[in-house]
Amino acid sequence: MRRLTPVLLAVVIVGSFALLGCDRSPQAEVDKVYEDGTYRGAFLDRDEMQVNIQFTLENHTISDISYRLLQYRGVDYLEDTDPAVEAIREQHMQVLEYLQGTDIRETLTSLYEPGNLVDDIDGYAGATMRASKIISAVRDALNRGVYAF
């Protein structure tokens, strides 16, 4: 029993710190303060940049949001003319249209359910649209801070 006590204590302490530092409640997002300026962020996986996004914040309102890069496994979704790729690109563009003019603190969490934001274009399921990559790129930008004032 003596060996179990230090291990249990360590688990409780580490778990407590994790819970305190990871407040993802909607209120926690609304309370955040971001400086006005242009932000850039990216989502990388396996040493491959897949999403690079840029946007401007003014009083927490998103404007001028665009993809600097949108690709996966060597396919450039911003340039490819294949109908399947065009459908996926259109879904990703709808996410940007949704975010344009909104308060970043209130709308970012809604991207976790992209089916509510994006039309199913040409029969391609929402599963092809990786909103989590966009969320990661936006959060990366916010964590990095203002790119340009």
> What angle do the packed helices 131-144 and 83-99 form, to 10 degrees?
50
Which pTM does this prediction carry? 0.76
Higher pLDDT, residue 2 or 100: 100
Is 120 a residue whose pLDDT tops 90?
A: no
User: What residue type is 52 in one-letter code?
Assistant: N
Q: Which long-range contacts (CB under 8 A, 24 or more apart) does 21-26 make?
A: 24/109, 26/106, 26/109
Burial class of residue 121, CB neighbours in 10 A (0-12, 13-18, 19+): middle
pLDDT digits (tens, 9 = 90+) for 68-94: 999 999 999 999 999 888 888 998 999
pLDDT digits (tens, 9 = 90+) for 34-63: 999 999 999 999 989 999 999 999 999 999
pLDDT digits (tens, 9 = 90+) for 7-32: 555 555 555 444 445 555 555 577 89
Q: Are 71 and 77 in contact (CB under 8 A)?
A: yes
